[in-house]
């Protein structure tokens, strides 16, 4: 949402840009910033904002720009090493290179990304580290703290992750109004000058940490119209909070209508929509396009039923989804934004309980074991025979078992769920090809 106050792109804020680039010391000795979006931000905060511990920075108050921007590669030898080792300044006059584009796969090293110097649980440059860590979504908003990564660096170095060089390439092409060849992929989703501390104010998304890539100068989620409640016309049901009976995300609250949660669907579909071709180096292919808003039930042009399109059958859901149809889920009900021990950024905990660390390990090898049904079971009746053969609208006749299940016996019996279920999929009736079911 647009700020009432002038945002950091206003003329008074742009002035320091010239200072950074042309002038030496004055920029660094800027007085504490006047009230405004920067001082309201997590980085600009005077008591918990940026503060590097190295001695030469001792004169700069907590929250000062100089803890990130330096006009030379380093202040009096305060490391990390200068840009490309040639003593020239890093782009944007940052204290280190913004991003190393040749880091195409994990494990990422700390010096691959400027942000990793502070957003990590080891060897951090932030004085005393990040307060209470940065845990993953399942921990911070789902309540499942066990085994959470304790920093953003750690979150990206898991089995699946949002590939940062792919994000950089994609954003350069698609968000060129602000995203340059030397921009940091994290800034596709965050504006470091305005991002706030949602984790300490979980019930209050005016403290949101994110900005939509198509609206980089503003926060996303801080306005009531940018939350799940408004975006779904009251058809969002917040999942259960971890083992806290009948309380809900994002903070074991009794409110479950989405009024406390940013509209993550609009955020993620800024990139993952029906038109963008997104190539994934990690998966070695283009990604499935996500259709989250198109209604039309079981028609082959309709979107996902977990999105705005409504379920068409009898309800095989468990609580809190009850017997109703028409729910719209949030991407972050199932996915992490940064990384996960499972494939496809699937959360460790979903709808109040643990999913196991390897719910779905089919990312790179099509023959690897998939446990995707453990994810489905978090919200659906997990008697898969009932769901597919016996429920009021079951589609499969139990006849000639082997024609679908392969050889009898355990090895061939269960049919891989992802043959029929993932974003965009539908199944056509064998006997009557005019009938189809949207199956995700
Ligand atoms: C000099 C250290 C430092 C660097 C470099 C840094 N951050 Fe931060 N960041 C912090 C601190 C300190 C906080 C506030 C931490 C807290 O919650 O106490 C913070 C908070 C944040 C938040 C708000 C959420 C939260 O509470 O943690 C976001 C989002 C964020 N940083 C993103 C970034 C991104 C993106 C980059 C790189 C472009 C970056 N940071 C680089 C130190 C840093
Ligand atoms: C594809 C979008 C996307 C990218 C890329 C991304 N983030 Fe985030 N990030 C999010 C979303 C969404 C949230 C809000 C949910 C949350 O707080 O867990 C978030 C939350 C955060 C937080 C707050 C975590 C907390 O404690 O709640 C920090 C800090 C952060 N990101 C830093 C980074 C850094 C550093 C990078 C790059 C290495 C990065 N992000 C890349 C989407 C992204
Ligand atoms: C947490 C670290 C951090 C802090 C603190 C910070 N910046 Fe930045 N700033 C960045 C990063 C990273 C970029 C590069 C953005 C990108 O990757 O596209 C940047 C870019 C800029 C730019 C270039 C225009 C733009 O937005 O891309 C200006 C101007 C700027 N910063 C000014 C400031 C001023 C003035 C302050 C203090 C009021 C400040 N910054 C505080 C990290 C920071
Ligand atoms: C009900 C849980 C659920 C929700 C909600 C959900 N996803 Fe997914 N998503 C999955 C699962 C499961 C997979 C892996 C499916 C597979 O095996 O291909 C996946 C895969 C993906 C992929 C990778 C697709 C590919 O090419 O393999 C993307 C991108 C994605 N999701 C984005 C989103 C976005 C964006 C949203 C919100 C608009 C969203 N998801 C909502 C469960 C979910
Ligand atoms: C700035 C654009 C952008 C935004 C915003 C964005 N993504 Fe992505 N996403 C990408 C790109 C590029 C890839 C391909 C790189 C990769 O596979 O990691 C990707 C890949 C994915 C994958 C597949 C990752 C894998 O390796 O299995 C999932 C799942 C996904 N995104 C979910 C989300 C969710 C959920 C959100 C919202 C929190 C989101 N994305 C927001 C650009 C984006
Ligand atoms: C976070 C909870 C959640 C998870 C996890 C989840 N679902 Fe769902 N699913 C729902 C809800 C809620 C609906 C009803 C949507 C509506 O009302 O439009 C639904 C609807 C469906 C439908 C449409 C049924 C019909 O009658 O039209 C299918 C098919 C489906 N889910 C399959 C899956 C599969 C397969 C998985 C595992 C990969 C899965 N779901 C994971 C919550 C979930
Ligand atoms: C037209 C295809 C088809 C035929 C024929 C068929 N099934 Fe199924 N069955 C399915 C599908 C799809 C599922 C859901 C995926 C799974 O669980 O393997 C399923 C699931 C099951 C399950 C639950 C397995 C689990 O995951 O726990 C049982 C048991 C089962 N079928 C028994 C039978 C028997 C016995 C026959 C023959 C009398 C039969 N099926 C014939 C399609 C078929
Ligand atoms: C051959 C295709 C096929 C396979 C394989 C398959 N399913 Fe399904 N599934 C369907 C169809 C068609 C429906 C819709 C029929 C219905 O809702 O009764 C469905 C419905 C569902 C639903 C939605 C229940 C509801 O109405 O809320 C879930 C959950 C589900 N399947 C899970 C699974 C799981 C888990 C597996 C793997 C063990 C699996 N399916 C394998 C075709 C398949």
60-108 pLDDT, tens digit per residue, is 999 999 999 986 545 555 557 645 555 667 889 999 999 999 999 999 9
Say whether pLDDT at 267 is over 90: yes
Q: What is the pLDDT of residue 188?
A: 98
Q: What is the pLDDT of residue 86?
A: 58
Query: What's the CA gap between 287 and 303, in Å, rounded?
Result: 16
Ligand number nearest CA of 330 is 4
* pLDDT, mean over the chain: 87
Q: Which of 395, 439, 440 to mutate to test the pocket of ligand 8 (most atoms within 8 A of CB)?
A: 439
Say whether pLDDT at 17 is over 70: no
Please state whether the peptide bond connecting residue 387 to the residue before it is cis, i.e. omega within 30 degrees of 0: no
Q: What is the pLDDT of residue 265?
A: 98
Ligand number nearest CA of 150 is 2
Query: What's the CA gap between 100 and 104, in Å, rounded?
Result: 9
Q: Rounded to a whole number, what is the largest CA-CA distance in the chain?
A: 81
Say yes or no: CB of residue 50 within 6 Å of ligand 3: yes
pLDDT band at 279 (very low <50, low <70, confident <90, very high): very high
pTM summary value: 0.95
Q: What's the CA-to-centroid distance between 435 and ligand 1, angstroms?
A: 51
Residue 115 CA neighbour count, 13 Å, CB half: 21
Q: What is the pLDDT of residue 16?
A: 43
> Which residue in the block uniquely carries the two structure tokens 């968000």?
175
Query: What's the CA gap between 16 and 415, in Å, rounded?
Result: 61
Ligand number nearest CA of 171 is 5
Cross-strand bridge partners of residue 83: 88
* Averaged pLDDT for residues 193-210: 98
Ramachandran angles phi, psi of 336, nearest 5°: -90, 155
Say yes or no: CB of residue 401 within 6 Å of ligand 7: yes
Q: What is the pLDDT of residue 360?
A: 57
Q: Is 425 exposed, middle or buried (0-12, 13-18, 19+ CB in 10 A)?
A: middle
Can you tell me whether residue 207 is helix, strand or coil? helix
CB burial string 402-416: b at 16+ within 10 A, e below:
eeeeeeeeeeeeeee
Q: What's the CA-to-centroid distance between 347 and ligand 2, angstroms?
A: 14
Say yes or no: CB of residue 305 within 6 Å of ligand 6: yes
pLDDT band at 56 (very low <50, low <70, confident <90, very high): confident
Contacts (Cβ under 8 Å, ≥6 apart) of 31 = none
Render pLDDT for 143-152 as a digit per residue (tens, 0 to 9).
999 999 999 9
The tokens of 48 are what?
């918990």
Query: What's the CA gap between 38 and 362, in Å, rounded?
Result: 42
CB 218 within 8 A of CB 3: yes
Say whether pLDDT at 139 is over 80: yes
Q: What is the pLDDT of residue 403?
A: 85
CB burial string 306-329: b at 16+ within 10 A, e below:
bbbbbbebebbbeebbeeeeebbb
The tokens of 121 are what?
């649980």
Q: What is the pLDDT of residue 29?
A: 37
Say whether pLDDT at 12 is over 60: no
pLDDT cut 70: percent of the chain above it: 83
Q: What is the pLDDT of residue 372?
A: 86
Say yes or no: CB of residue 306 within 6 Å of ligand 4: yes
Q: What's the CA-to-centroid distance between 420 and ligand 7, angstroms?
A: 13
Cross-strand bridge partners of residue 109: none
CB 376 within 8 A of CB 367: no
Q: Which atom of ligand 5 is nearest to the CA of 169?
A: 12
Q: What is the pLDDT of residue 310?
A: 97
Q: What's the CA-to-centroid distance between 366 and ligand 7, angstroms?
A: 22
Q: What is the pLDDT of residue 57?
A: 81
* Better pLDDT: 38 or 26: 38
Min mean pLDDT across 29-43, 153-167, 246-260, 355-369 is at 355-369
Ramachandran angles phi, psi of 192, nearest 5°: -65, -15
pLDDT cut 90: percent of the chain above it: 70
Ligand number nearest CA of 117 is 1
The tokens of 427 are what?
């199944």
Say whether pLDDT at 22 is over 70: no
Query: What's the CA gap between 6 and 410, in Å, rounded?
Result: 64
CB 212 within 8 A of CB 177: no
Please state whether the peptide bond connecting residue 129 to the residue before it is cis, i.e. omega within 30 degrees of 0: no
The tokens of 343 are what?
């494939």
Render pLDDT for 155-164 as a digit per residue (tens, 0 to 9).
999 989 999 9
């Amino acid at each position: 949402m647009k700020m009432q106050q002038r945002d950091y792109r206003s003329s008074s804020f742009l002035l320091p840009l010239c200072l950074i680039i042309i002038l030496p010391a004055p920029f660094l000795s800027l007085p504490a910033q006047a009230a405004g979006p920067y001082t309201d931000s997590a980085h600009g905060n005077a008591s918990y904002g940026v503060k590097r511990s190295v001695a030469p920075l001792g004169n700069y108050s907590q929250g000062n720009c100089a803890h990130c921007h330096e006009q030379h590669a380093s202040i009096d030898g305060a490391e990390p090493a200068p840009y490309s080792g040639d003593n020239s300044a890093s782009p944007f006059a940052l204290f280190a290179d913004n991003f190393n584009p040749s880091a195409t796969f994990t494990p990422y090293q700390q010096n691959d990304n400027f942000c990793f110097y502070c957003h990590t649980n080891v060897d951090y440059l932030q004085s005393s580290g990040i307060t209470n860590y940065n845990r993953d979504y399942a921990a911070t908003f789902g309540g499942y703290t066990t085994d959470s990564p304790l920093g953003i660096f750690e979150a990206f170095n898991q089995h699946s992750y949002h590939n940062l060089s792919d994000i950089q390439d994609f954003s350069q092409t698609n968000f060129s109004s602000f995203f340059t060849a030397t921009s940091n992929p994290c800034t596709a989703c965050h504006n470091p000058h305005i991002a706030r501390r949602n984790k300490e104010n979980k019930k209050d998304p005016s403290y949101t940490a994110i900005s939509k890539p198509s609206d980089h100068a503003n926060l996303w989620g801080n306005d009531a119209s940018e939350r799940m409640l408004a975006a779904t016309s009251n058809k969002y049901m917040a999942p259960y909070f971890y083992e806290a009976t009948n309380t809900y995300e994002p903070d074991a609250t009794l409110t479950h209508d989405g009024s406390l949660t940013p509209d993550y669907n609009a955020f993620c579909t800024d990139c993952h929509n029906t038109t963008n071709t997104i190539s994934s180096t990690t998966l070695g292919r283009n990604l499935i396009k996500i259709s989250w808003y198109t209604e039309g039930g079981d028609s082959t042009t309709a979107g996902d039923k977990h999105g705005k399109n409504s379920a068409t059958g009898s309800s095989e859901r468990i609580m809190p989804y009850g017997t109703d149809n028409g729910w719209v889920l949030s991407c972050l009900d199932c996915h992490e934004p940064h990384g996960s021990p499972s494939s496809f950024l699937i959360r460790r905990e979903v709808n109040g309980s643990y999913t196991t660390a390897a719910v779905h390990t089919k990312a790179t090898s099509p023959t690897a074991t998939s446990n995707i049904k453990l994810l489905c079971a978090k919200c659906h009746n997990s008697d898969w025979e009932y769901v597919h053969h016996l429920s009021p609208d079951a589609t499969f006749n139990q006849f000639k078992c082997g024609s679908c299940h392969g050889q009898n016996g355990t090895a061939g019996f269960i049919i891989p769920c992802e043959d029929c279920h993932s974003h965009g999929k539908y199944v056509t009736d064998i006997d009557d090809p005019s009938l189809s079911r949207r199956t995700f």
